[in-house]
């Protein structure tokens, strides 16, 4: 690791060289508070906004230093948008993102510049995310160049070290992306993300495009890198098997909402929200007898559009346990203990005692908007009654 020339930003722990036991996690590195990200749909000559895509719709959670938070959901749930908003590739429409205790939601480009060294992103498509006209050495070295680190010679050396770190040959410095396979390209993307030794890496579906045997190489690599560089990961994926393997905690999103948040094992043993139950049941198991025995919940219909999300609980049109209240009232995120939160009027796998102890999560109650954020939507401030079991 090379020494950073500038001091860490004010307001963060920023102590160099502290070894965090990453599985237990430390202080919150990232805090997402009531973040919303809407995209306007404009029509007509005057380009009026006629509708909005509610890509991320009031999401709150935090990510502890050293942990891996899995962010799971299907197409259109907002996970990629959320990932990009966290690293400020997008600016939140409302709410705030805090990095090491500092609000980064509204920072301008210049102020963001030093922060970019601390948070990086690996993209899903290894074919689209590397500039095909640049050599690999240049692609990986670019972040170093932009941040004025070292000189040409030292950068060259660093890039070669990075290539080795991700399991590629340093001799391939001068090759172009098309000369590599998908898995290798993904490694290049990882090397690029590592170049600045960030604290946080948002990995947006890093293995979805890879064959299963290459996938496992990549997951093992990401694991090793996390240990070696004390990284914090936000791992975005739709494959629950993969997510379980890498994550300490998992956040499940549906149509822009956070519907369940739990330590990884707990989620798989005791999913509370019916959507999570359906997601788990949809994952094919490479074991014919087990596969034949288990109950498969196959959801009807498609995921609705985030332009016009359903009323009440957004999952209600596809939910087998749906009742009237689900159509009318949006369920709050309730804390069922052991770090397991879920938003559902008819929670599964929750016994009576736990139900009675459950409280509406403190983390959900939207704090008054931070300065500069747009006003919150009306009607969400009151505490909800504790959901009753049907």
Closest by Cα among 136, 313, 262, 117 to 197: 117
Contacts within 8 Å (CB) and 24+ apart, 367-375: 367/33, 367/34, 369/34, 369/94, 369/95, 370/33, 370/95, 370/96, 370/103, 370/105, 372/105, 372/106, 373/92, 373/94, 373/95, 373/96, 373/105, 373/106, 374/93, 374/94, 375/94
- The alpha carbon of 78 is separated from its chain's Cα centroid by a whole number of angstroms, namely 9
Out of 138, 158, 165, 216, name the contact with another protein by CB under 8 A: 216
The answer to whether 117 and 108 are in contact (CB under 8 A) is no
Instruction: Give how many residues touch another protein by CB under 8 A.
Output: 45
The answer to whether 171 and 148 are in contact (CB under 8 A) is no
- The stretch among 41-49, 107-115, 120-128, 180-188 that binds another protein (CB under 8 A) is 180-188
Q: What angle do CA 206, 216, 212 make, to 5 degrees?
A: 85
- The stretch among 53-61, 110-118, 175-183, 368-376 that binds another protein (CB under 8 A) is 175-183
Out of 101, 170, 182, 310, name the contact with another protein by CB under 8 A: 182
The yes or no reply on residue 241 touching another protein (CB under 8 A) is: yes
Range 132-161, binding another protein (CB under 8 A): none
- The stretch among 6-14, 19-27, 215-223, 320-328 that binds another protein (CB under 8 A) is 215-223
Range 192-211, binding another protein (CB under 8 A): 211
* Least gap, CB of 288 to another protein (angstroms): 5
Range 337-376, binding another protein (CB under 8 A): none
* Least gap, CB of 167 to another protein (angstroms): 10
The yes or no reply on residue 217 touching another protein (CB under 8 A) is: yes
**Which CB, 54 or 116, lies closer to another protein?**
54
Range 279-308, binding another protein (CB under 8 A): 279-291, 296, 298-299, 301-303
The yes or no reply on residue 252 touching another protein (CB under 8 A) is: no
* Least gap, CB of 186 to another protein (angstroms): 13
The yes or no reply on residue 278 touching another protein (CB under 8 A) is: yes
Out of 164, 265, 324, 367, name the contact with another protein by CB under 8 A: 265
The yes or no reply on residue 178 touching another protein (CB under 8 A) is: no
Q: Would you call 191 helix, strand, or coil by DSSP?
A: helix
Could you tell me where the DSSP H helices lie in the chain? 79-86, 109-115, 136-146, 152-165, 182-194, 212-229, 240-246, 264-269, 274-282, 288-293, 324-328, 352-357
Bridge pairing between strands 68-72 and 28-43? unpaired
Which tokens sit at 270? 């005791």
Over the window 87 to 126, marking each residue x when it contacts another protein by CB under 8 A and - when it does not, the resulting string is ----------------------------------------
Out of 20, 74, 229, 384, name the contact with another protein by CB under 8 A: 74
Out of 212, 351, 353, 390, name the contact with another protein by CB under 8 A: 212
The yes or no reply on residue 238 touching another protein (CB under 8 A) is: yes
* Least gap, CB of 284 to another protein (angstroms): 3
The yes or no reply on residue 60 touching another protein (CB under 8 A) is: no
**Separation between Cα atoms, residue 83 and residue 77, nearest integer Å:** 12
**Strand ranges (DSSP E) for 44-100?**
48-64, 68-72, 94-99
* Least gap, CB of 275 to another protein (angstroms): 9
Cβ neighbours, 10 Å, residue 299: 18
Non-local (6+) Cβ contacts of 307 within 8 A are: 41, 51, 52, 53, 54
The answer to whether 100 and 12 are in contact (CB under 8 A) is yes
Query: Radius of gyration (Cα) for the chain, nearest Å?
Result: 22
The yes or no reply on residue 219 touching another protein (CB under 8 A) is: yes
Binding site for another protein (CB under 8 A): 74-75, 181-183, 211-217, 219-220, 223, 238-242, 244-245, 264-265, 268, 278-291, 296, 298-299, 301-303
């Amino acid at each position: 690791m090379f020494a950073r020339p500038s001091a860490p930003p004010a307001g963060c722990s920023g102590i160099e060289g502290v070894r965090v036991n990453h599985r237990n996690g430390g202080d919150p590195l990232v805090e997402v508070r009531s973040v919303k990200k809407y995209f306007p749909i404009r029509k007509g000559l005057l380009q009026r906004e006629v509708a909005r895509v509610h890509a991320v719709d009031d999401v709150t959670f935090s990510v502890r230093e050293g942990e891996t938070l899995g962010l799971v959901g299907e197409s259109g749930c907002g996970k990629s948008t959320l990932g990009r908003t966290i690293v400020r590739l997008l600016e939140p429409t409302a709410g705030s993102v805090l990095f090491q205790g500092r609000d980064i939601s509204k920072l301008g480009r210049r102020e963001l510049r030093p922060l970019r060294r601390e948070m990086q992103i690996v993209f899903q498509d290894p074919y689209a995310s590397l500039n095909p006209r640049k050599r690999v050495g240049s692609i990986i070295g670019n972040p170093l160049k932009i941040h004025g680190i070292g000189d040409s010679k030292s950068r060259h050396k660093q890039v070669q070290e990075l290539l080795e770190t991700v399991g590629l040959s340093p001799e391939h410095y001068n090759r172009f992306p098309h000369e590599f396979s998908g898995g290798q390209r993904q490694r290049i993307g990882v090397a690029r993300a590592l170049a600045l030794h960030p604290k946080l890496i948002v990995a947006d579906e890093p293995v979805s495009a890879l064959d299963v045997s290459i996938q496992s190489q990549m997951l093992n690599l990401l694991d090793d890198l996390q240990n070696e560089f004390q990284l914090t990961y936000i791992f975005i994926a739709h494959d629950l098997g993969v997510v379980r393997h890498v994550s300490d905690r998992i956040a499940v999103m549906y149509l822009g909402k956070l519907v369940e948040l739990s330590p990884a094992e707990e989620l798989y043993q005791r999913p509370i929200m019916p959507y999570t139950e359906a997601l788990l049941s949809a994952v094919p198991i490479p074991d014919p007898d087990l596969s034949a025995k288990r109950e498969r919940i196959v959801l009807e219909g498609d995921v609705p559009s985030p332009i016009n999300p359903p009323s009440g609980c957004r999952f209600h049109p596809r939910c087998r346990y749906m009742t009237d209240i689900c159509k009318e009232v949006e369920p709050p995120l309730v804390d069922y203990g052991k770090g397991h939160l879920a938003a559902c009027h008819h929670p599964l796998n929750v016994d009576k005692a736990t139900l009675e102890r459950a409280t509406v999560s403190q983390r959900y109650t939207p704090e008054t908007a931070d300065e500069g954020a747009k006003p919150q939507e009306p009607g969400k401030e009151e505490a909800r009654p504790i959901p009753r079991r049907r």
